[in-house]
Chains A and B, each alone.
Chain A
Amino acid sequence: MADIATDVHAHVDHHHDDHHDHHHKETFLTKYIFSQDHKMISKQFLITGMFWAVIGALLSVIFRMQLGWPEETFPILETFLGKWAEGGRLSNDFYYALVTMHGTILVFFVLTAGLSGTFANLLIPLQVGARDMASPFMNLLSYWFFFAASLVMFASLFIQTGPASGGWTAYPPLNGIRDLAINNGSGLGLDLWIGSMALFIVSTLLGGLNYVATIINMRTKGMTMWKLPLTIWALLFTAVLGILSFPALLAAVSMMEFDRLLGSSFFLSEIIINGQLLDHKGGSPILFQHLFWFLGHPEVYIIILPAFGIVSEVLSVHSRKPIFGYRAMVLSIMAIVVISFLVWAHHMFVTGMNPLVGSIFVLFTLIIAVPSAIKVFNWISTLWRGNLRLNPPMLFAIGFVSMFISGGLTGIFLGNSAIDIQLHDTYFVVAHFHIVMGVAAFFGMFAGIYHWFPKMYGRLMNNTLGYIHFFVTLIGSYMIFFPMHFMTGLPRRYYTHSNFTTFDNFGGLNEFISIMAMVVFLAQLIFIFNFLYSIFNGYKLKKGEENPWGATTLEWTTPVERLHGNWPGDIPAVHRWPYDYEVNGEPFIMQTTPLKEGEVEH
């Protein structure tokens, strides 16, 4: 990908271990394509993720045109989409294909692979003090499985019957029967979707095992678990969640493919299509939902935990204050991780599930609000009496907290099953999850990119463009998703609401939301431009400026130039926790600085 051009300025320092390096000269192929350097792999994840983010967002702009102006025609759509938008009006089956692919791409390819793939790879070895991952080769495989998954998914966008169109949750029987009469997307489109997800899950597992092994085994001297920055804690638990939950999805989609191709009946029973009774007997479509959400709910934490970690770190560094309640932050992540395995059926309150079972999931779902609240209060307290450097990473981190509050609170309605009866599958849900795990996770990701860009490329990003990007995105995202709370009774996944007199009174608001969606999309192009431009033309950090933010963690002790092995000499030992700011009369103290005599360890 665009990695070809990255790091053109970086001339690898060979002065350590000279004789060793001559035997392993990096070629173009091993340096940029099949690199085993975790820093390069992280860039590969990031840039592939950015590519997917643009595609996924573009799909949403197209279907927002349909939602905003359901009666209008747009000839340009026909130009690009052909038969899917005859006469310039998006066809209903392609509308559902767009919605499905938007969800799949954003949830898995951008916010799982793009977010934790990027930052786990970049930060874990650098912040724990390791030369690379436990298995650099497995790490390489993790990226290339992701790349293969991406190719398959991307190809599925262009096939004749269209990509998968039965929702990103791929519920059977709509997706469980390989019959175009039921759904166009349930043919080859869904086969490719399932194939791609299988590759994707392999990638996640390879990556995840590696992350856990590295964090547990490869910490440098003195780096006890309680001296790890919160980013590492968050990434550790993200990986654990992925390892434990993704296999359930692999099982579910494999069983579904058996149903589709081999005539098994895991998820199908008593199905009558056009007066024809199918042979499938004894399966349960609800079983698929249990398996899916057993992954699906931890998945939202897989998305948001890395953002938790990044935001905690960024808030602390740019407030020039320690993160408030470090141990409480770690324990609350642990609590969230454990409880996140016990809440999945809150997606299924109205599937006919026994109300008693539902009540248990209500209990655990609302309990999870407690550790989430602890985190929010700690973030806010971190700002209190700080000296806040309101630069792009910091602004995005504050924006994250705002979004997380707004989206998290609406979860308290949805988690209460009695209220969920009315809210389930309406725009209230769309508003809730887009704010809390869509926009918030993106804010975390942006905070991370702006913050660690100097580490990745040895240059600074343009701040002014960053401010424009931030404010347009903050205001625009609220304007898109806040009004959706008023559409509480409106079913989601509707091509148009005009078939119902009950739902037809939000036309003007839908138009407004669509316009804001386009504005926010354009603002992201500013970011992408800034990112690509700064790789080559950003302010180049000089010698002695390798720690531009005055942060304390280990990644800032490495030289500006990219170096396979991270540190030219020995790996530094760690003596203190990562949050010593404005203490002992110093603006900050690196983790590598030994404790002063009489100083108490945190």
Chain B
Amino acid sequence: MGITLLLGLLALILLFYVLFRIARTSELASILRGDIHNYQYASKVNGVLMMAFLIIGLIMIVYSSMIYIPKMLPEAASVHGAKTDRLFNITLFFIGVVFVLTQIVLFYFSWKYREKEGRKAFFYSHNNMLEVVWTLIPAVVMTVLVVMGLQTWFSIFPSHDEMPEDRLEIEVTAKQFNWIVRYAGMDGEFGPRMIDTNYISQTNELGIMWENKASQDDIMPKEIHLIKDKPTLVRLGALDVLHSFYLPHFRVKMDCVPGLPTSFYFIPTKSTEDMKEILSTQKEWQKINEETGEEEWKSFKYELACTELCGKSHYAMQMDVIVHENEQKFMEWAEAQTPYYESIKATLDQASIEEVEVEENTIAEKSN
């Protein structure tokens, strides 16, 4: 390793030196010729290079798109995601046209009007008509994009009255470096939480009031479970620092802020099985996964990620997301879960007894 590094470094220095000698020689030659201020030859070479860059660049864009677009995220798996993807594509169309045209004109002009013997620049300082035209065209295009964008934007954030009553609600609380997911359980009611030192402890970071009946059947699974075509409201929060709740396949993203509740409302449209079926027809997903020995599409899963820098393990806040085919399948899963309260009851009693003891001691100390 040391040797290769040293050799690499030497080769690099040599390369720099050779470049430098060439550069110096060509410079000296032009001084000797007396045309240090003459750029005709350089303009000819550079003009051709600029044109070559344009052509090869455009080809590379097409070529790389063919390779990498199939690797991008699959089609949106939510109602609003389909809309934002459509908006993306419309914008891409406008922008693609502008991009290609302006780059072509820019590099073509660079080559076409390169300095040449006998060429004289054309004194042309302004044209108000042109300015008006190329102010109005972008203004009109932007207006179209703003109107379409805002229509979509407002449709994504309905008020609570506009959301259907029978929605699925999930509470997700982010912390370094984990997600705490809570479902209301069979009673359909979340156990209340209290931001208070009497409730918050290492075993109860959320400050859930366990003595409340509504708390006792809440489910806190290690994955997020959704139902296909079921309106879903995710209530978001964070304990320590900022996090961001990101479901890439559903085009869902919302920050989790300590002390400030946020939420995101969406409707998943493709179950996990649906998405596998879609991907099973795509070439990119036919590759054999080394770990499972099966085609990639068979091990497809939806995932939750964090997209707001939250500390050194920010990149590891992964959680699986499962979209059930229908409500019934979801209920089957939910019924099989043990409410979180049941699983911690034993330790909880122990802890609360200790806490009470500590409290009594302090009270005793104070009264003394």
- Interface residues, chain A, CB within 8 Å of chain B? 75-76, 92-93, 96, 165-167, 171, 173-174, 182-184, 268-277, 283-286, 319-322, 324-328, 350-352, 355, 358-359, 362-363, 366-367, 369-370, 373-374, 376-378, 380-381, 383-391, 395, 398, 401-402, 405-406, 409-410, 412-413, 416-419, 421-422, 424-426, 460, 462-465, 467-468, 471, 474-475, 478, 482-483, 486, 488-489, 491-497, 499-503, 505-506, 509, 522, 525-526, 529-530, 539, 545, 548, 579, 581-583, 602
CB distance B115 to A183 under 8 Å?
no
CB distance B153 to A358 under 8 Å?
yes
Known: A272-B195, A325-B131, A583-B123. 12 other contacts (CB 8 A): A92-B312, A166-B311, A286-B260, A352-B257, A373-B138, A387-B116, A388-B114, A390-B110, A398-B110, A425-B244, A465-B20, A503-B305
B333 within 8 A of A: no
CB distance B72 to A463 under 8 Å?
no
Given A362-B153, A405-B102, A465-B20: A174 in contact with B242 (beta carbons within 8 A): yes
Contacts of A406 in B (CB 8 A): 99, 103
B126 within 8 A of A: yes
* B162-170, B197-205, B225-233, B336-344: which lies at the interface: B197-205
The 10 closest A-B pairs by CB, nearest first: A269-B259, A352-B262, A275-B202, A464-B23, A270-B259, A416-B149, A320-B121, A486-B68, A390-B46, A385-B122
Distance between Cα atoms of A475 and B318 in the complex (Å): 36
In the assembled complex, 23 residue pairs joining A and B whose CB atoms fall closer than 8 Å, in A order, are A76-B5, A93-B312, A183-B241, A184-B312, A268-B259, A275-B203, A277-B196, A284-B260, A285-B258, A321-B124, A352-B262, A352-B263, A381-B130, A388-B47, A419-B84, A421-B156, A421-B251, A424-B253, A462-B27, A491-B306, A500-B318, A502-B73, A583-B123
CB distance B205 to A321 under 8 Å?
no
CB distance A380 to B102 under 8 Å?
yes
Contacts of A522 in B (CB 8 A): 12
Given A325-B131, A582-B121: A409 in contact with B205 (beta carbons within 8 A): no
Nearest to A321 among chain B residues (CB) is B121
Distance between Cα atoms of A417 and B27 in the complex (Å): 52
Distance between Cα atoms of A377 and B146 in the complex (Å): 22
* B34-42, B213-221, B322-330, B359-367: which lies at the interface: B34-42
Cβ 8 A contact of B153, one of A96, A373, A417: A417
Distance between Cα atoms of A273 and B83 in the complex (Å): 39
In B88-116, which residues have CB < 8 Å from any A CB? 88, 91-92, 94-95, 98-99, 102-103, 105-107, 109-110, 113-116
Contacts of B156 in A (CB 8 A): 355, 418, 421
CB distance B255 to A352 under 8 Å?
yes
Cβ 8 A contact of A409, one of B99, B241, B313: B99
> How far is the CB of B52 from the nearest CB of chain A, in Å?
10
Distance between Cα atoms of A340 and B125 in the complex (Å): 28
Given A322-B123, A529-B16: A398 in contact with B88 (beta carbons within 8 A): no
Given A366-B146, A416-B87, A467-B46: A96 in contact with B312 (beta carbons within 8 A): yes
> How far is the CB of B37 from the nearest CB of chain A, in Å?
6
Contacts of B273 in A (CB 8 A): none
Distance between Cα atoms of A496 and B239 in the complex (Å): 24
> How far is the CB of B323 from the nearest CB of chain A, in Å?
14
Contacts of A380 in B (CB 8 A): 102, 105-106, 109
B135 within 8 A of A: yes
Contacts of B146 in A (CB 8 A): 362-363, 366, 416
> How far is the CB of A173 from the nearest CB of chain B, in Å?
5
Contacts of B124 in A (CB 8 A): 321-322, 324, 381, 384-385
CB distance B240 to A272 under 8 Å?
yes
> How far is the CB of A360 from the nearest CB of chain B, in Å?
10
Annotate B48-66 by CB proximity to A: 1 below 8 A, 0 otherwise. 0110010001000100110
CB distance B131 to A374 under 8 Å?
yes
- Interface residues, chain B, CB within 8 Å of chain A? 1, 5, 12, 16, 19-20, 22-24, 26-27, 30-31, 36-37, 39, 42-43, 46-47, 49-50, 53, 57, 61, 64-65, 68-69, 71-73, 81, 83-85, 87-88, 91-92, 94-95, 98-99, 102-103, 105-107, 109-110, 113-116, 119-127, 130-131, 134-135, 138-139, 142, 145-146, 149-150, 152-154, 156-157, 175-176, 195-197, 200-205, 207, 236, 239-242, 244, 246, 248-249, 251-255, 257-263, 299-303, 305-316, 318
> How far is the CB of A551 from the nearest CB of chain B, in Å?
12
> How far is the CB of A326 from the nearest CB of chain B, in Å?
7
Given A362-B149, A366-B145: A328 in contact with B126 (beta carbons within 8 A): yes
> How far is the CB of B85 from the nearest CB of chain A, in Å?
8
> How far is the CB of B155 from the nearest CB of chain A, in Å?
9
Distance between Cα atoms of A323 and B61 in the complex (Å): 31
Distance between Cα atoms of A184 and B255 in the complex (Å): 23
Distance between Cα atoms of A319 and B302 in the complex (Å): 55
Cβ 8 A contact of A402, one of B103, B252, B313: B103
Distance between Cα atoms of A581 and B125 in the complex (Å): 10
CB distance A475 to B95 under 8 Å?
no
Nearest to B138 among chain A residues (CB) is A373
Distance between Cα atoms of A426 and B69 in the complex (Å): 16
Given A350-B244, A539-B31: A75 in contact with B1 (beta carbons within 8 A): yes
CB distance A166 to B312 under 8 Å?
no
Nearest to B122 among chain A residues (CB) is A385
CB distance A493 to B314 under 8 Å?
yes
Contacts of A276 in B (CB 8 A): 200
CB distance A383 to B153 under 8 Å?
no
CB distance B260 to A285 under 8 Å?
yes
Given A320-B121, A409-B98: A370 in contact with B135 (beta carbons within 8 A): yes
Distance between Cα atoms of A88 and B115 in the complex (Å): 52
CB distance B202 to A274 under 8 Å?
yes
CB distance B205 to A351 under 8 Å?
no
Distance between Cα atoms of A327 and B135 in the complex (Å): 14
CB distance B309 to A463 under 8 Å?
no
Contacts of A167 in B (CB 8 A): 309
Contacts of B307 in A (CB 8 A): 424-426, 491-492
Distance between Cα atoms of A268 and B71 in the complex (Å): 41
> How far is the CB of A308 from the nearest CB of chain B, in Å?
16
CB distance B110 to A325 under 8 Å?
no
CB distance B37 to A548 under 8 Å?
yes
Cβ 8 A contact of B311, one of A174, A326, A383, A474: A174
Given A419-B91, A421-B252: A387 in contact with B121 (beta carbons within 8 A): yes
Distance between Cα atoms of A366 and B149 in the complex (Å): 11
Nearest to B287 among chain A residues (CB) is A505
Given A269-B258, A285-B257, A376-B102: A173 in contact with B242 (beta carbons within 8 A): yes
Distance between Cα atoms of A506 and B71 in the complex (Å): 8
> How far is the CB of A583 from the nearest CB of chain B, in Å?
5
Distance between Cα atoms of A501 and B220 in the complex (Å): 24
Contacts of A173 in B (CB 8 A): 240-242, 258
Distance between Cα atoms of A493 and B152 in the complex (Å): 28
Nearest to B94 among chain A residues (CB) is A412
Nearest to B254 among chain A residues (CB) is A350
CB distance A182 to B99 under 8 Å?
no
Distance between Cα atoms of A42 and B49 in the complex (Å): 34
Distance between Cα atoms of A513 and B140 in the complex (Å): 37
CB distance A501 to B301 under 8 Å?
yes
CB distance B113 to A385 under 8 Å?
yes
Distance between Cα atoms of A302 and B359 in the complex (Å): 58
Cβ 8 A contact of A165, one of B5, B205, B312: B312
Nearest to A356 among chain B residues (CB) is B154
CB distance A497 to B315 under 8 Å?
yes
Contacts of B308 in A (CB 8 A): 171, 425
Contacts of A506 in B (CB 8 A): 68, 71
Nearest to B49 among chain A residues (CB) is A471
CB distance A182 to B153 under 8 Å?
no
Cβ 8 A contact of A526, one of B1, B19, B88: B19
> How far is the CB of A519 from the nearest CB of chain B, in Å?
11
